[in-house]
Amino acid sequence: MRLKDKVAFITGGGQGIGRAIAMAFAGDGADIAMAAPNRDDMERVCGEVRALGRKASAHYLDLRDPRELSAVRDAVQGQFGRVDILVNNSGIPGATAAVHELNEADWDEVMNINLKGMYLVCKAFVPAMIVRKQGVVINMASLVGEFGYPLRSPYCVSKWGVIGLTLTLALELAPHGIRVNAVAPGAVSGQRLDRVFENLARARGKPADEIRQATMHAVPLGKIVDPGEVAPVCLFLASDEARMITGEILRVSGGQGIAFA
């Protein structure tokens, strides 16, 4: 029970990686508050968390609205008293297009949710951690935030920004006893990845299965990452086992990105 009686706040906790993190944390003793645009998904996960004997709450949140975020923060702190672990997991894949063909509104939407939204969540929750002189922040980056990916510029740039925010926060918050790290998954299985493959296939004029196979071929361990393979890394970073780890970007990619070819 590495997180016994800790309180974790997870954005985007209703499905995929967010759900996997919530279940892993609850299984190791944490109470869970989550926020996302889809209340039905979150309520299902909350039921699963409660079945493990932990407390859980779901909150509707549009990360583009600071007023909603303030209300969610107040509700979470009112119910649980504090947040020990902040997981910034929310994000959208964004449009698939070349930079010169990209719609400005599509660019802004990705930046506002994936990057500015993360900044706003930190701005809302970190001050209470500073007062308590303890806390853990885990930001969800991406492998493409280190390497880039054609036709995915808004997503890539937003994740580069997440890495920059993580490194800066780690330096700013270390004197207050707060650790800040990022997890950078490769391609993660699920409906969102399926849509990304479909959009890339249309843009490139190729079958989606061909895009999928090419992605798998680029992974030395030979498979696409499962959300349940990302969650244990976050659990480790949230625990005291990682008490001397801050300012790190941990890849969960099956080795994707390490080869020169």
Q: Which active-site residues does the annotation give?
A: 155
Residue with tokens 């990686």: 17
Q: Which secondary structure element, helix H or strand E, spans residue 17, and what is its range?
A: helix 16-27
Amino acid at 103: N
**How long is the chain?**
261
Burial group, residue 209, by CB count within 10 angstroms (0-12, 13-18, 19+): exposed
- Can you tell me the distance from the alpha carbon of 56 to that of 76, in angstroms, rounded to the nearest whole number? 10
**Do 109 and 205 meet the contact criterion of CB atoms below 8 Å apart?**
no
* CA nearest neighbour of 136 among 191, 88, 205: 88
Question: For 244-247, which contacts have Cβ atoms below 8 Å and span 24 or more sequence positions?
Answer: 245/179, 245/181, 246/170, 246/174, 246/179, 246/180, 246/181, 247/166, 247/167, 247/170, 247/171, 247/174, 247/180, 247/181
